[in-house]
């Protein structure tokens, strides 16, 4: 479409926003600084194609907030800067129809196979993975936290992912997940020949936590890249009393450069609407039957399959590719393939370029 309508003076942009599903793909984690988010956007150019330019939202997510906070929404604006189309999920077929109506049809429609995209894979892990058992934490929500960034300090090689269960968010009593995930953009791995990562939370009067401090389990591998995770039981945590956490760890970049790092965070008992829903090992992959059934929720005529007019959300843009038997409908099995593809494609280190792995 970019090829067809670019010459007709239509501009296209992708807007790079906070991660929708941290921990998928290359074990990506939410960036803490603008330079880190710019790194993400440049990786997106390499990984997802660079013909359409990306613009990058600011770290306060101002554009995402100003436009309704959806992960894959789409807007068409006219030459006067007025919004003339908006949809909650991107739908290339519909955009093409919009543009045919607004600026006229093109003589020859560029098809996907005509475009020779050279797409890169996510970066490979820096060291062994899956040496540390992961904590299961389905259905937890990210909470607001402020990394205490020092201008002269080392980068946050490991980044905290803090999540709360529903009852902790609601009334201050429940489970708090702390996961220290290595940021693949800093290319670091844990040095297991030294002390394991440890954390400490400053005590707050009235608040009860079963582990105010913790040390990660020892790993026999010399180095690895698995997250260091802790599940805490918290009671009587008031909304107006943030927790201050200090983490200490040794991170190495390559064979030579190792850093002893001490970093701080302030945690708030408040859901982070920009934190995204973590997916992957621990947080949970998409379960294919459940995913397919959920997609079938929009089966209005109850014939057990989705017609294109019934499809919504993430399915719609992929409809034709998913309809493998080309009968014009997506049945349960075809929908299951999609969730398998999402999981497969997003499994860290798994090649994504095999022809039949494309949804």
Partner 1 sequence: MRFVAPFLMLALAFIAVPIEVQAQKMQEREEDFLRSRPLIGDIFPDVTVYSPDGTPFKTGDLRGHYTVLTFGCLT
Site for partner 1 in 56-95 (CB under 8 A): 56-58, 62-64, 66-68, 70-88, 90, 95
Tokens of 106: 């093109």
Site for partner 1 contains 43 (CB under 8 A): yes
Q: Using the rule CB under 8 A, which residue among 159, 161, 228, 279 binds partner 1?
A: 279
| CA dist list (Å): 133 to 78, 130, 181, 217, 282 | 52, 7, 14, 10, 9
Comparing CB distances to partner 1, the nearer of 74 and 269 is 74
* Shortest distance (Å) from residue 283 CB to partner 1: 11
Task: Candidates 50-58, 110-118, 144-152, 220-228: pick the segment binding partner 1 (CB under 8 A).
Answer: 50-58
Site for partner 1 in 203-262 (CB under 8 A): none
Task: Candidates 99-107, 142-150, 156-164, 201-209: pick the segment binding partner 1 (CB under 8 A).
Answer: 99-107
Alpha carbon distance 99, 229 (integer Å): 48
Quick count: other Cβ atoms within 10 Å of Cβ 348? 20
* Shortest distance (Å) from residue 26 CB to partner 1: 7
**Binding-site string for partner 1 from residue 326 to residue 355, where x marks contact by CB under 8 A and - marks none:** --------------------x---------
**318 Cβ partners below 8 Å, 6+ apart?**
338, 359
* Shortest distance (Å) from residue 126 CB to partner 1: 17
Site for partner 1 in 291-310 (CB under 8 A): 293-294, 296-300
Task: Please give the torsion angle defined by the CA atoms of residues 74, 76, 80 and 81, in that order, rounded to the nearest 10 degrees.
Answer: 0
**197 Cβ partners below 8 Å, 6+ apart?**
158, 180, 190, 215, 216, 228, 247, 248, 249
Task: Candidates 141-149, 231-239, 289-297, 351-359: pick the segment binding partner 1 (CB under 8 A).
Answer: 289-297
Site for partner 1 in 138-177 (CB under 8 A): none
Comparing CB distances to partner 1, the nearer of 84 and 149 is 84
* Shortest distance (Å) from residue 102 CB to partner 1: 6
- The strand pairing partners of 284, in sequence order, are 280
Comparing CB distances to partner 1, the nearer of 130 and 300 is 300
Quick count: other Cβ atoms within 10 Å of Cβ 302? 7
Q: Fill in the DSSP letter of residue 296.
A: G
Task: Please give the torsion angle defined by the CA atoms of residues 114, 121, 69 and 37, in that order, rounded to the nearest 10 degrees.
Answer: -120
Tokens of 180: 């220290």
**Helix/strand/coil for 24:** coil
Site for partner 1 in 125-144 (CB under 8 A): none
Site for partner 1 contains 53 (CB under 8 A): yes
């Amino acid at each position: 479409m970019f090829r067809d309508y670019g010459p007709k003076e239509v501009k296209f942009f992708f807007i790079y926003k906070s991660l929708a599903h941290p921990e998928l793909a290359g074990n990506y984690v939410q960036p803490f600084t603008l330079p880190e988010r710019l790194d993400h956007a440049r990786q997106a150019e390499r990984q997802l194609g660079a013909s359409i330019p990306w613009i990058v939202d600011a770290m306060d997510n101002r554009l995402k907030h100003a436009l309704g906070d959806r992960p894959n929404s789409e807007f068409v604006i006219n030459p006067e800067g007025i919004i003339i189309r908006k949809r909650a999920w991107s739908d290339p077929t519909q955009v093409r129809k919009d543009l045919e109506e607004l600026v006229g049809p093109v003589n020859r429609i560029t098809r996907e196979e005509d475009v020779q995209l050279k797409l890169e894979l996510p970066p490979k892990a820096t060291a062994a993975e899956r040496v540390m058992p992961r904590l299961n934490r389905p259905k937890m929500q990210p909470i607001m936290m402020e990394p205490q960034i020092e201008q002269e300090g080392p980068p946050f090689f490991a980044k905290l992912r803090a999540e709360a269960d529903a009852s902790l968010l609601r009334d201050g009593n429940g489970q708090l997940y702390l996961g220290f995930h290595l940021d693949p953009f800093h290319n670091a791995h844990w040095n297991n020949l030294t002390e394991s990562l440890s954390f400490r939370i400053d005590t707050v009067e009235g608040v009860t936590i079963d582990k105010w401090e913790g040390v990660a389990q020892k790993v026999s591998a010399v180095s690895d890249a698995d997250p260091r995770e802790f599940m805490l039981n918290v009671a009587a945590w008031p909304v107006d009393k943030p927790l201050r956490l200090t983490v200490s760890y040794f991170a190495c970049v390559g064979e030579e450069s190792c850093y002893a790092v001490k970093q701080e965070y302030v945690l708030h008992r408040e859901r982070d609407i920009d934190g995204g829903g973590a997916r992957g090992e621990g947080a949970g992959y998409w379960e294919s039957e459940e995913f397919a059934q959920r997609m079938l929720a929009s089966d209005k005529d109850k014939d057990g399959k989705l017609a294109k007019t019934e499809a919504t959300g993430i399915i719609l843009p992929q409809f034709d590719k998913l309809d493998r038997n080309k009968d014009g409908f997506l049945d349960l099995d075809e929908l299951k393939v999609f969730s398998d593809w999402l999981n497969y494609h997003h499994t860290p280190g798994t090649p994504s370029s095999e022809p039949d792995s494309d949804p």
